[in-house]
Structure formats: structure tokens, C-alpha cells
Homo-oligomer: A and B are copies of this chain.
Amino acid sequence: MFDFTNHTNIRAPRGNRLHCKGWGQEGALRMLMNNLDPEVGERPDDLIVYGGRGRAARSWEAYDAIVRTLLELENDETLLVQSGKPVAVFRTTKAAPRVLIANANLVPQWATWEDFNRLEEMGLTMFGQMTAGSWIYIGSQGVIQGTFETLAALGRKHFQNHTLRGRLYVSAGLGGMGGAQPLAAKMLEAVALLAEVDPARIEKRLATGYLDRVSPTVEQGVQEALRAKEAGEVVSIAVPVHATELLQYLVDHQITPDVLSDQTAAHDPLVGYIPDGYDVRSAALLRAADPAEYLKRARASIARHVQLMLTLTRRGARSFDYGNNIRRVAYEAGVQDAFEIDGYVPAYIRDLFAQGKGPFRWAVLSGKPEEIYKLDRLALEMFRENEALCRWIELAGKHIQFQGLPARIAYMGYGEREAFGVRVNEMVARGELSAPVVFGRDHHDTGSVASPFRETEAMRDGSDAIGDWPILNALLNVASGAHWVSFHHGGGTGIGYSLHAGMVVVADGSADSTGRLERVLHNDSGLGVVRHADAGYELAVQTLQKNPVKTPLLGPETQPRRK
């Protein structure tokens, strides 16, 4: 008998033995546990998965109740989770989702960190981030392709090169997501130099192969990086210091990185950012003793951080905000020109979104790495003509160590996702895979998020702040039969700054799964293309011409032909 009651070293069951009454429930159970696997989550003892305080459940009591409920949940029942707490089970239908999740949603006038902190303190809410509270985090791999695609697009745009060979990438933060930076930079053949105040995080990236080495001081780290750049070497180096310490050194010594970014969890200044002059431990003491003072210092430090980034930008560094809202936090702390730094979505990712491409992923419940490699081969075979995808799959197979349940991320687009999902489901049915496969995605995707300083920054029609699309996305995924669907506020850019939805479907080899995969993967990504076509992106209109959706108010060329 598998023991589901422990709270340390949580590890999801592997293989095709069912503990729940159906694979929808079992998938949710295993992915929840996988989020808290110490190989995967950042601080599982505190239920924190990644991204500042992105949690999987509100409390251990809530976690236990979710686990118990999933183990007993019938195939026509649906569990409701309110900010990480299971609040009710209702009878729905066999075709409906098994779990519906709403995390950190607040009435807009109260959507501030101050109110959120107060309500969290009262035990009434939880920060779900994007994939933490929605149970589809897959470790640092989850963001790595996004980072890779961003840096690749940057290379093409600014250096007319498909790699970053001979370029110096400087950034900070080696947390759950930030930890992907050194590896993504390496896959693009750059030299990466990263500041991280928490030595334990550096250790974790070294252990999981995301980082090559650590230098004890800034001076030494910078020298090594410059030597490597000179020598045309490809290497990633961390320095165990505050971001501003590294940047100040570069400014003082007239060293300008080619590419500059940041991945501290600046979106959540109270929990995700360590102020100047503090280490992890002293910061924790100040945070507990005087949160207001902590916030003041963290915001001042973020302001200084962005000032330094601006100085380096003006000296020629190609800089971008990589989705942690650091520009806005600095702007609110008085840095009026913070938005001179590019947002990565309009600068590098929008074209992918317009085609329905985004961080799609799958995990094999068998636990067998070779089944991921088998699926890699399937993808290479099915999408032979998609060069970028094939290049990615090959690089990923070579560079990425698995964390927890073996998984793969791939920016598949509209049309590709459902084709792939359905084929994989057939393989499960035929026993070519030894257990079901889970398909999901980040909330950071084409049609699932409204976030004016990130995914919807500078939309062509000015619709950045329109929040209807993620809501429609969540409702449509429920109607289409995803196994679990989530809707969050907050996430990557923090409280007040984004609304987003997630979905997961389990391919268990059944005809029921085929239907769900066809509908959900098609509709989910299709809505993203429609959202971009509606906003006036030509690439989206073209995508709809190839693979039409009925769009009552767009041009006739995007409409399915009548039979």
C-alpha cells in the first residue's frame, strides 16, 4: 500500500496502478504530489513550489484533505478547490472536469499586496502562482524553453545570429524558474553570469545540471566570465551575491554585458526579493519582525537594481524584463524610466503566441525517462517540417535532467497539440507506453492570460488590460472536458497585475481521453489565436486561414468552409 500521508520527501506514485477511481483524479493526485517532490518544488516543507510564495495547497491540513478526497472521488464528481483548500464535492457528469480550482482571486479594489497579505494571514487565501496551485509545475524545465526562445529571438533580432555564441548574458535569481537561465543560455552557446543570494539555490542548480559552476566572489566570477567569452567557451557561472552587487561592479568597471535580464521574484517584494545588505536568514528575521520595513527596503533595493540595469542598457546592453514585473515595482518606487527596458513578450514572444504556440508540456505517469525519449522521437517524426520544434526537442533531450516525474516542454502550436495528444493516447491504448500521460501547460500561454506588463503588454489594439479572455479560456476548457481547470489572479507579475487560466488533460488510452484531448488541446490554443487575430495580428489571421475557427466578427477568410 502506498502511503499518502507523509509530508516530507513526497514522491508521486509511478506506474499504471490506479489508486483513485479514475485516471483524471489519479493524474491530479500525482501531479499535486509531484509539485511538492523535493526534486521539483523549491521549498516543499512550506508547500512552496516556485515563484516567491507560489503554493500547491493552503496548509498541510488542506493538502491531506485534497489527497483523501481525490482518492475517493467518483467519476461523475467534481472537487472544488478555493485558494488551495478543498471546499466541496458536487456531482457533475462523467465528461466534466474532476477538479476546479480558483486561487488568489480578489475583488479588484482589494487586489493589492497589502490586502492579499492580510487575507493570507487570516488563512483565507493562498498565492497560486501559475503552475504551483494548479498542479502542473514540472521543475525548471517548465520555463526553460521560454527562456531559450526569448534568447534565440533576441539573438536573431539584435545580433543576426541563431546562437548567442561569444555573448555575455548577465542576470540574477536561480529559483525555480530563474534556474533555467544558465542552461538556456548554454543551449544558445552564451557565457552566463548570475547573481543569487541564496547559496542553497545555487547548490540545487549545480546538482540538477542547470548550472556549471560557482565563483566565490563577484570579482572572480566576472573575470572567469570575461575569460570564457574571450576564449569562445560556453559556460555558466553563479556568484553568491545580491543582484545589485554584481551590477554595481559591472557599472563601476565599465563592463557591459551583451544581454541583461533578471529573475529574482521581484513581483512579490515581501517574499521573493532580498533587500540590499541582507542575506536569506537576516531577511527572514526582518520579514517576520517588521514586514512594512522589509517592503520599504526591498522596494528601494529594486529601484536601485533597475537603475543599474538602465545604466547598463544605455551603455549598450540588450536588456529585457523577463516577466517578474521588476519594471513596474521599480516604477512605483520612483524609477520613472523603468519602462525603457523591453518587456520580453512584445519584443520576442508575441509572434509565437499569435500562432497558438506556448509552453505546452507532458509528463509520463510511468515515471520512466525512456518513455519521454520515445515521445521525443514521436514528436520529431510527426513534426519533421517544424525545424524550431525539432531543434528544441533534440537540445532538450541532450541537456535537460528530469526532476520528479519525467516530463517534456515544447512550444507546440495550434493544431500540433491535439494531433500529438491524440497520437500519444493511442500509444497508451496499445500499451506502447506503460502508463497514462498528462498534458498541460503554463498559465503563461497564448489565450489564457491577461497581464499588461507581460503576456499582453503593448497589444496592437490596446487591449492589454481586458480580462475577458482568460475567463473565457477557463470556461471553455471546462466545457471541453479538461480533467482539471484553474483560474488564478496574481502569478508571475504579482497581485493586481494578471489574471490567468490553466488546464490539464490525462491521456489514459480511453476513447473518453481521445475526445477530451481533441477538444481541449484544439480549443485552448485556438482561442489564443482568435484572441490575437481579434487584436489585429496578421500572423494570427494567417494561422486561422490554415486551421479555421468560426469567428463571427472576423473576416470571411478565417471561417471554416461550408460543406
Contacts and interface: CB of A to CB of B under 8 A. Distances in A.
A536 to B, nearest CB: 12
Nearest to A451: B107
A479 B478 contact: yes
**Size bin of chain A's contact surface:** 35 or more
Given A90-B476, A92-B523, A106 B465 contact: yes
Interface stretch (A108-116, A279-287, A289-297, A371-379): A108-116
Interface centre among A62, A86, A487, A515 (most CB of B within 10 A): A487
Given A69-B552, A100-B475, A479-B478, A87 B485 contact: no
Interface string A71-94: 000000111101101111111110
A549 B452 contact: no
Nearest to A495: B108
A1 interface: no
A472 interface: yes
B107 A452 contact: yes
A83 B466 contact: yes
A311 interface: no
A71 to B, nearest CB: 11
Interface in A55-77: 61-62, 65-66, 68-69, 77
A466 B124 contact: yes
Contact of A487 (B77, B85, B462, B475): B475
A90 B124 contact: no
Contact of A472 (B100, B108, B467, B534): B100
Interface stretch (A235-243, A259-267, A315-323, A496-504): A496-504
A95 interface: yes
A109 B496 contact: yes
A105 B467 contact: yes
A492 interface: no
A314 to B, nearest CB: 28
Interface string A491-534: 00001111100000000000000010001001100110011001
Contact of A108 (B90, B111, B471): B111
A413 interface: no
A479 B481 CA distance: 8
Contact of A102 (B61, B115, B468, B497): B468
Given A80-B527, A105-B468, A465-B110, A88 B478 contact: no
A441 interface: no
A107 B87 CA distance: 26
Given A82-B469, A481-B93, A463 B124 contact: yes
A89 B553 CA distance: 11
A119 interface: yes
A526 B102 CA distance: 17
Interface string A526-556: 1100110010000000000000011111000
Contacts of A469: 82, 102
A140 interface: no
Q: Is the interface of A mostly helix, strand, loop or mixed?
A: mixed
Contacts of A108: 106, 108-109, 111, 489, 495-497, 499
Given A78-B476, A102-B471, A466 B125 contact: yes
A562 B105 CA distance: 34
A534 B62 CA distance: 13
Given A96-B479, A109-B111, A479-B78, A552 B89 contact: yes
B93 A519 contact: yes
A122 interface: yes
Nearest to A550: B89
Contact of A88 (B87, B480, B549): B549
B90 A480 contact: yes
Given A106-B108, A107-B452, A90 B549 contact: yes
A428 B348 CA distance: 57
Contact of A479 (B93, B103, B104, B471): B93
A385 interface: no
A421 interface: no
A36 interface: no
Contact of A87 (B106, B461, B495, B534): B534
A107 B467 contact: yes
B468 A103 contact: yes
Given A93-B479, A108-B499, A109-B465, 9 more contacts: A89-B550, A92-B523, A93-B481, A93-B515, A102-B471, A108-B109, A122-B462, A125-B466, A478-B479
24 contacts: A61-B553, A65-B553, A77-B550, A87-B552, A89-B552, A90-B519, A91-B519, A100-B475, A102-B467, A102-B475, A103-B468, A105-B467, A106-B108, A106-B467, A107-B451, A107-B466, A108-B489, A108-B497, A108-B499, A119-B462, A119-B463, A124-B466, A475-B485, A475-B487
Closest 4 CB pairs of A and B: A108-B111, A105-B467, A110-B465, A102-B468
